[in-house]
A and B are shown apart, each in its own frame.
Chain A
Amino acid sequence: MPQQRRPNQLFRNLHAKVAAIPMILTATIVFVGGTLWTVLYSFTSSGLLPRLNFVGLAQYERLWSTRRWLVSVENLAIFGVGKMVFALVIGFVLAALLDQKIRFENTFRTILLYPFALSFIVTGLVWQWILNPDFGVQSVVRGLGWESFSFDPLYNPDIVIYGILIAALWQTTGLVMCLMLAGLRGIDEDIWKAARVDGIPMWKTYLFIVIPMMRPVLITALVIIATAIVKVYDLVVAQTSGGPGIASEVPAKYVYDMMFSSQNLGQGFAASTMMLLSVLIVVIPWAYLEFGGRKRHG
């Protein structure tokens, strides 16, 4: 009989595992359990109170034939793409500019990061005033003598979502910049020196050497921005309440209004299940590439 048995994997680091049990239970029961419960009840005709009378896919049929939901999804797509692209690009450019050993770097960093300290409600209210044609940008420019100037995104159903995008970018870009700056500082000086010796222009060094090396930071920024996109709600409520008409509605607001104002839990659950599904569609392939791929190499 062999003396040396392999220690049972289950009992390695036993203390740590015991300590993790409460969190594991919370995660399973609250998050996974709550999610499954929501999905289950999205197939019922629950109104004010959850009830188990199944109606099949009726809630989903109604959801996808509701104009307001379709507008919400379209808005989220525009908002999501716009915010992802502009927050990353502007954040990186600002960080690269700050990284040029300029004076007062701390001051600039603080100014640029400040908006992030404000809640979305405050951000929304501030931008509601700035974009208000009677008090904000439009009236200031008209006051300077340009009488025909017109800039009222929040009152034009066609472009209202861009008005919200501007406010969101103002709020988030500072944080992205700080993350990027940390990433840039993490790049070894020698790499810059080597690139300079080889005579590679600065922009090429950034694009082909530095950015690929910043992958972990980029992914952190991506995840933070992505979660902010999916849950956007308070900004819209503060800026437009979904108006004019239903032109700036977003899915999270649809879910809230259905569950609490319309007293139609089933419809709200169906909408939130669709939101979950869209997140999974993005996350699963990414997680597969990120974690599944590495195992093969390693």
Chain B
Amino acid sequence: MTSIKAFLTATTVLAAATAVQAADLEVTHWWTSGGEAAAVAEFAKAFDATGNKWVDGAIAGGGNTARPIMISRITGGDPMGATQFNHGRQAEELVEAGLMRDLTDLAEQEGWRDIVKPASLLESCTLDGKIYCVPVNIHSWEWLWLSNKAFEDAGVPVPQNWDEFVAAAPALEKAGKVPLAVGGQPWQIHGVFRVLLISLAGADIYQKVYGEKDAEVAAGPEVAKIFKAADDARKMAAKSNVQDWNQATNLVITDQAGGQIMGDWAQGEFQVAGEVAGQDYTCLPALGVGQALETGGDAFYFPLLDDPEQAKAQEDLARVMLDPKVQVAFNLKKGSVPIRGDVDVNAANDCMKKGLTLLAEGQAVPSQEQLMSQDSINQINDLMAEFFSTPSMTAEEAQERFADIVGSAT
């Protein structure tokens, strides 16, 4: 129902967009929350300054609602000027079908290969040696957010790594708190598992399982340990009755829960609530033990357009999005990390600086969206959701099915 409404809105926006002159460019995205909209406004402002006009095509309801609408518009012969996708393989088939614009010339002219860090971001935009998208930000999943007050109430020190956190769980429960807040949506539960895998088993194992789809490694002893850890996690999360990720974050903010495993976008919620890093909450990148962070994020794709003036505007937009000043302004509002290594990020807070240090040491791994098809990711989502909601399902059984999915993954 909502998607139909969003589709109608999108088509209305389009009708309005096609009625005016050529240098107007419609940009579709699914950034609709307060902070996200403010970040997008930075792009729009900078783009308008080039003499073109940004026509905002925001689609409410998140990526899973927005992507089908974007795709049906592009495949239906009704393309927008530019559109957001997550880094990776979501738009792969659209590129293969020749519906997206080849940006290789522009990239060489502007030297994108030298400025985009980590290089894997641009690689995800590349198909058969040609570049098809502009990465705009880096988000990483591997963060554990802890409520200092909750641990104080439970009479235990704030943990510095995952093992200490697990050990502190009984004390938290005795104090009437949920040790680990996990939203019930499958993608969040899969996120928890992946964070455990990358942080506790290391980047190599992650690459073998998600990158090379090695079913033997997925069924092996290293991953078995992770399923044991996930078993701990589901016991700690058994009493968390929330659905959305920000509701779970809110449990940590209000000190009803000990902690949450969630990507760096959760930081924005703490900021809005007026909490201070280190004082009210503690952040542990890579669970305090790991060395690697996933580097996913968002990228913009440019559908192939016939109108030369609009094509020119597309180039302007691509340039604007990678501009150093725009990058900083956008990412500070978005709560993400700029994709250029050469920009000044002094405004970032302590937690973000910890993350930047990890990234600077070269410990960046590609995100799941870059390695796996959405189809396989959704299959693992379903498995993890079932594992967490079915106490009778053993870790061994879950691992066996996980290995099956990895073996047939694409």
Contact = CB atoms under 8 A, between A and B. Distances in A.
A207 B136 CA distance: 70
Closest 4 CB pairs of A and B: A245-B389, A244-B389, A48-B93, A260-B68
Given A49-B75, A244-B385, 9 more contacts: A47-B93, A48-B92, A48-B94, A67-B386, A157-B389, A243-B389, A245-B385, A262-B379, A263-B93
B207 interface: no
Contacts of A264: 375
B361 to A, nearest CB: 35
Contacts of A243: 184-185, 243, 385, 389
Query: Which bracket fits the contact residues of A?
Result: 20 to 34
A87 B184 CA distance: 31
Contacts of A68: 382, 386
A257 B378 contact: yes
Contacts of B390: 157, 245, 247
User: Do most interface residues of chain A lie in helix, strand or loop, or is the interface mixed?
Assistant: loop
Contacts of B378: 257, 261-262
A121 to B, nearest CB: 5
B184 A262 contact: no
A244 B184 contact: yes
Contacts of B388: 245
Interface of A: 47-49, 62, 66-68, 119, 121, 133-134, 155, 157, 234, 241, 243-247, 257-258, 260-264, 267
Contacts of A261: 64, 67-68, 374, 378
Nearest to A245: B389
Nearest to A257: B378
26 contacts: A48-B94, A49-B75, A49-B93, A49-B94, A62-B408, A67-B383, A67-B401, A119-B1, A121-B1, A133-B241, A155-B241, A234-B1, A241-B243, A243-B185, A243-B243, A245-B186, A245-B386, A245-B389, A246-B186, A246-B382, A246-B385, A258-B375, A261-B64, A261-B374, A262-B374, A262-B378
Interface in B281-324: none
Contacts of B93: 47-49, 263
A67 B241 contact: no
A246 B386 contact: yes
Contacts of A241: 184-185, 243
B363 interface: no
B126 interface: no
A246 to B, nearest CB: 5
A121 B401 CA distance: 34
Nearest to B75: A49
B41 interface: no
Residue picked from B64, B92, B375, most chain A C-beta under 10 Å: B375
Interface string B381-404: 011011111100000000001000
Given A119-B1, A155-B241, A263 B385 contact: no
A123 to B, nearest CB: 12
A101 B375 CA distance: 59
A133 B67 CA distance: 34
Nearest to B92: A48
Nearest to B99: A49
Given A244-B184, A261-B64, A263-B93, A48 B71 contact: yes
Interface in B51-102: 64, 67-68, 71, 75, 90, 92-94, 97
A186 to B, nearest CB: 36
Contacts of B184: 241, 243-244
Contacts of B185: 241, 243
Nearest to B2: A121
Nearest to A152: B241
A263 B386 contact: no
Nearest to B64: A261
Nearest to A119: B1
Interface string B360-388: 00000000000001110011001101111
Nearest to B93: A48
B375 A267 contact: yes
B84 to A, nearest CB: 16
Contacts of B71: 48
B352 to A, nearest CB: 31
Contacts of B386: 67-68, 245-247
Nearest to A133: B241
